[in-house]
A and B are shown apart, each in its own frame.
Chain A
Amino acid sequence: MAGITFKNVVKTYDNGVTVVPDLNLEIKDKEFVVLVGPSGCGKSTTLRMIAGLESITDGELYIGDKLMNAVAPKNRNIAMVFQNYALYPHLSVYKNMTFALELAKVPKNEMKKKVQWAAEILGLEPYLDRKPKALSGGQRQRVALGRAMVRDPEVFLLDEPLSNLDAKLRTEMRSQISKLHKRLGTTFVYVTHDQTEAMTMGDRICVMKDGIVQQFDTPQNLYDHPCNIFVAGFIGSPQMNFIDAQVKKADGGYALCFGDTKVISDRSELAAYEGKTVVLGIRPEDLHAEQSFFKEGNSIKAYIDLDEMMGSESYLYLEYAGQKMIARVPARYAKRAEENIELAIDVEKIHLFDKETEKAI
């Protein structure tokens, strides 16, 4: 069992493009870490460096306490699940799972036992003699997992493993992979661009952008305390609203002014921003239509451009003080498009960001 450590790792391709400029990351033993970010953010490259499929330009990569830079993939004691599963099309499910074991010269009966064990956990017993072609997408996905499991790796690497499945199967496989992690007690590194997968599965989530780690934290902390505008906008759906607000001195702290709204905050850090503009972030679910939330100055009277009825709740696309906002309110409080609505901002839940650095205040 082993953790993974990146020390000042750089990845530059032969064409001179640097995708990872300076990566420092410490993944603990037995942890389920999700690398998440928009496409091209370097998350897959990072995973492939762990696997040894991409060479490391500079810096050091450790698995456990062993330096891995120059170790061939097969000697890293890792297993990888690929986005398109990468099953050997000419081999049966059983042979797919034993391919690595045969190369490692594992005795026949031990091989059989291991496949049996994995097939039982994954519900693959009826399909062992089939070729991948004769399996559904979800079954292929499970074979790919099984192929990784039988090898008893120290680290499991998963590269967008659910992106080729339909929505329902994805939800199902999500919980199955989480369960598998608990059962195996191995380090999992999971790459995805889907924040729902990241939030539901990860012990810790590493949000990346342009090859740089933005924030590496637990799902709850990422949601409650995003460290910058990028992370705040990336996590949560619909996206957090960002509003430019003037900071003014007021009773009991500072007032954040936009339109007719004055939200009072007692955050002392605002002293430095007096008279300047900051970015106020508020999640759509923290805009309320219920009476109990209204206080002096915290309301916005907005025009509804568009409404999306989701059943139990409604998404309202608003326009207020020349800025676009989204609110997520219970269906019974919602109004329809082209009407006006009054909403209260939950002052406890506001996020404040520096307009220049985009960092949290």
Chain B
Amino acid sequence: MDKKPSHARTVIAYIVLIILTFLCLFFFYILIVNATRSHPQIQKGFSFIPGHSFMKNLRSVLNDANIPVISGIKNSLIVSSLSAILATYFSALTAYGLYAYDFKLKKPAFVFIMLILVMPTQVSAMGFINLITKMGMLNTLYPLFLPSIAAPAVFYFMYSYMQSSLPLELVEAARIDGSSEFHTFNRVVIPIMKPALAVQAIFAFVSSWNNYFIPALVISDNSKKTLPILIAALRSADFLKFDMGKVYMLITIAIVPIIIVYIALSKYIVAGVALGGVKE
């Protein structure tokens, strides 16, 4: 009896899903196609069929002295990797400190972190720029990854994960076994936290890789620029003069590595997103 309406609903559901899938993939498809076409081809109109200018576009991006792509990738990699490592390790350490130990300021410390959980960093950007200028860190990569040590959202994820997966008896067993507190954290807690660390490392890496606001304020030296600044520079240049094949190629370079990593790890990433919201 209830099979018929379900059938109609299934068809509608698939149609909507296919439209959304198209929306999500279509732009990237054009991006990749256009990255393989030459400027005149792109100007002529739009095509679903890839062209033959992939290598030419790649070479012209890499050889453009105004767009230091290689150093941009290198800087982005350094900043994102260090951010990911610092954010996950120190968030786990902080979460463990609040989870496994009893001390007077435990509750206030926890409440404080929860209160700043979603505080945007932009609100203190002015003082931040001022401060790092005084510290001589303007135009260096340090201010781009050092603040990751205090990552409240990563902390909250780690803390929730510990509540579900790290029985305190394990810590006590290690204590009786003669393990020092740091040894217990590094050799017992960290291995148990691996799934959480991996998921959060990916998120921290990606958000740092994509970050534009702070790097644009901190970095002015061409050799220190990260990829988002280079993309933005592309926009502010006189756009019409540009070789469009080159523009699409640079965007491809900024986006595709993340997409490849994402597809390879999508199972864990999607599961991680779901975990982030469940708090019961």
Q: Which residues of A contact B (CB under 8 A)?
A: 14, 51-53, 72-74, 78-80, 82-84, 86, 88-90, 99-100, 103-104, 147, 151
Contact = CB atoms under 8 A, between A and B. Distances in A.
Count chain B CB atoms within 10 A of each CB in A14, A103, A104 and give the residue with the most: A103
A90 B173 contact: no
B175 A86 contact: no
Contact of B176 (A74, A88, A104): A74
A51 B176 contact: yes
B175 A88 contact: no
Q: SS class of chain B's interface: helix, strand, loop or mixed? A: helix
A211 B224 CA distance: 66
Contact of B173 (A14, A52, A80): A80
A53 B102 CA distance: 12
B183 A103 contact: yes
B169 A84 contact: yes
A100 B178 contact: yes
Given A53-B172, A82-B169, A83-B169, A103 B102 contact: no
Interface in B151-199: 167, 169-170, 172-179, 183, 188, 191-192, 194
Contacts of B188: 88, 90
A104 B178 contact: yes
8 contacts: A53-B172, A53-B175, A73-B172, A74-B178, A78-B176, A88-B173, A90-B194, A100-B179
A104 B176 CA distance: 12
A100 B175 CA distance: 9
Contacts of A53: 172, 175-176
B96 to A, nearest CB: 16
A14 B176 contact: no
Interface residues of B, number: 17
Given A14-B102, A88-B188, A82 B178 contact: no
Nearest to A100: B177
A79 B179 contact: no
Contact of A90 (B167, B175, B179, B192): B192
Interface of B: 102, 167, 169-170, 172-179, 183, 188, 191-192, 194
Given A84-B167, A88-B188, A89-B192, A74 B172 contact: no
Given A86-B167, A103-B178, 18 more contacts: A51-B172, A52-B175, A72-B175, A74-B175, A74-B178, A74-B179, A79-B176, A80-B173, A82-B172, A82-B173, A86-B173, A88-B173, A88-B191, A99-B174, A100-B176, A100-B178, A100-B179, A104-B178
B176 A73 contact: yes
Count chain B CB atoms within 10 A of each CB in A51, A53, A84, A151 and give the residue with the most: A53
Nearest to B103: A14
Contact of A73 (B167, B170, B175, B192): B175
Contacts of A82: 169, 172-173
Nearest to A104: B178
B177 A103 contact: yes
B177 A99 contact: yes
Count chain B CB atoms within 10 A of each CB in A52, A86, A90, A147 and give the residue with the most: A86
Contacts of B178: 74, 100, 103-104
B124 to A, nearest CB: 36
A53 B176 CA distance: 8
Contacts of A83: 169
Given A84-B167, A89-B192, A103-B183, A74 B173 contact: no
Count chain A CB atoms within 10 A of each CB in B170, B191, B192 and give the residue with the most: B170
Count chain A CB atoms within 10 A of each CB in B175, B178, B183 and give the residue with the most: B178
Contacts of B167: 84, 86
Give the top 10 A-B pairs by smallest Cβ distance, nearest first: A100-B177, A74-B178, A90-B191, A86-B173, A86-B169, A103-B178, A82-B169, A73-B176, A86-B170, A73-B175
Contacts of A14: 102
Contacts of A52: 175-176
A72 B172 CA distance: 11
A53 B192 CA distance: 22
A233 B169 CA distance: 32
A74 B180 CA distance: 9
Nearest to A148: B176
Contacts of A84: 167, 169
Contacts of B174: 88, 99
A103 B179 contact: yes
B198 to A, nearest CB: 14
Nearest to B173: A86
A335 to B, nearest CB: 50
